[in-house]
Amino acid sequence: MTDSLARRLTCIDCGAAHPLAYLLQCERCHGLLELTYDLDRLRRDGPAIFTGTGLWRYAPVLPIADPAHRVTLGEGGTPLLDCPRLARDLGVRRVLVKFDGSNPTGTVKDRSSATAVGAALQFGYRATSVVSSGNAGSSIAAYAARAGLRSLIFAYERASAPKLLHMAATTADLIIYKGVYDDLITLWDRLVEEKLFFDCGASRNAYKQEGKKTLAYEIAEQTAWVPPDVIVAPVAVGETFIAMLRGFREMREAGWIPRVPRMVAAQATRANAIARAFREGTAITPLKIGYTVAEGLAAGNPGKKGDWVLRLLREEKGLAGDAEDEEILDAQRRLARTEGVWAGPTGVATLAVLIRLLARRQLEPAQTICVIISETGLKTEAEVPSRVGAAFDYDSLRRLVTERLPAK
Ligand SMILES: [Zn+2]
């Protein structure tokens, strides 16, 4: 197995290099840090450097040095589904769905939980913590349990029942907080400085974010190193978006792929601080937000990460959009009926945004477009269909079947 090719942490603002320690910001200017790798080695060895399956197949481009710290529940290696019926429905040449709801806890977060908890082990921590709308909490709790670490999970009071059940099952330390994510995260981020627990939040930790980079590597490999023209990624604070773009840039620099896909940042209209700033050509104005069905996208103040997303969108000529809750729920039904993929509202906001951008002719339909579907629908709470049952005898049963499925 090849060692990690991570070499240093680099400040995204001033470019200062730092050693591979547990650092959350630049010591010179307090900017965010990103991991940098030995890309010459990637160029020399080519994709044959990857061995094994799942997320840790990409261990050379992840920052966990010791294989003993590479905690796993079988994450990654999720399907990239060619969706011809959905493509026809949308009037697009080709649509690919990257279904990350098939991860162990049903969300893309398992990728970052694997590297977050791996990094907690690497730096000798015994406890982890996260503030979550539901998915990150149950994912971190599961990975912490798997690694034998404690997890102090702060969960949104309106998190769905299945997510709460999952968290309560996987950690003994589940705390429900009042209000939305933004209300607690700045206080919690301050507490991170005291090092009572390992930071499993989305605001700053480069080691945690890095797990999501594997989405880019997987998609590139699944498309034989000719990635889609466009990728629509969900954005709350921006981890998935930033990490994927970094992955594609690394592969371009290593000469593995011809170009970086055009990245589209997808938000819920009720929490659209980044999309709004992008459209208006301004800096981000934090929003006071309420509830959105896309619970995992409910961040009104994306902080420095949000600024980073905006900078990347402008540098790489990306695009940003948002969708209303009703459009998200409509996209959820549409994906389930056309392709059999049952995604939660957070996970399917990308598709709703794609539909809107196509309707407004902001995206060219003669392209291959990949949507990241980031969570399963099985952890969603929604009104159930009528439970009024029918009793049958043979004749009434046969009548129903022949009515519903008439002979050709
Ligand atoms: Zn700096």
Report how far residue 95's alpha carbon sits from residue 371's, in angstroms, rounded to the nearest whole number.
8
Alpha carbon of 154 to ligand 1 centroid (Å)? 30
pLDDT tens readout for residues 345-391: 999 999 999 999 999 999 999 999 999 999 999 998 888 889 999 99
Query: Which position has the token pair 């730092």?
Result: 18
Alpha carbon of 25 to ligand 1 centroid (Å)? 8
Alpha carbon of 314 to ligand 1 centroid (Å)? 21
| DSSP per residue, 56-92 | GGGGGGSS--SGGG---SS-----EEE-HHHHHHHT-
Report how far residue 370's alpha carbon sits from residue 68's, in angstroms, rounded to the nearest whole number.
34
Domains detected in the chain: 80-106+209-379 (3.40.50.1100)
Report how far residue 272's alpha carbon sits from residue 359's, in angstroms, rounded to the nearest whole number.
19
Report how far residue 277's alpha carbon sits from residue 280's, in angstroms, rounded to the nearest whole number.
5
pTM score, whole prediction: 0.96
In this prediction, residues 15-37 reach a mean pLDDT of 97
pLDDT tens readout for residues 63-105: 999 999 999 999 999 999 999 999 999 999 999 999 999 999 9
- The packing angle between helices 345-359 and 325-339, to 10°, is 100
Alpha carbon of 23 to ligand 1 centroid (Å)? 12
Q: What is the pLDDT of residue 45?
A: 97
Q: Which two tokens stand for residue 327?
A: 């459009």
For ion ligand 1, residues whose CB falls within 5 Å? 11, 13-14, 16, 26, 28-29, 31
Report how far residue 358's alpha carbon sits from residue 90's, in angstroms, rounded to the nearest whole number.
8
| DSSP character at residue 178 | S
In this prediction, residues 167-196 reach a mean pLDDT of 92
Alpha carbon of 123 to ligand 1 centroid (Å)? 22
Percentage of the chain modeled with pLDDT above 70? 100
Alpha carbon of 10 to ligand 1 centroid (Å)? 8
Q: What is the pLDDT of residue 1?
A: 59
For residues 153 and 130, the answer to whether their CB atoms sit within 8 Å is yes
For residues 256 and 311, the answer to whether their CB atoms sit within 8 Å is no
For residues 240 and 103, the answer to whether their CB atoms sit within 8 Å is no
pLDDT tens readout for residues 127-139: 999 999 889 999 9
Query: Which position has the token pair 């539909």?
Result: 355
Q: Which two tokens stand for residue 88?
A: 């026809």
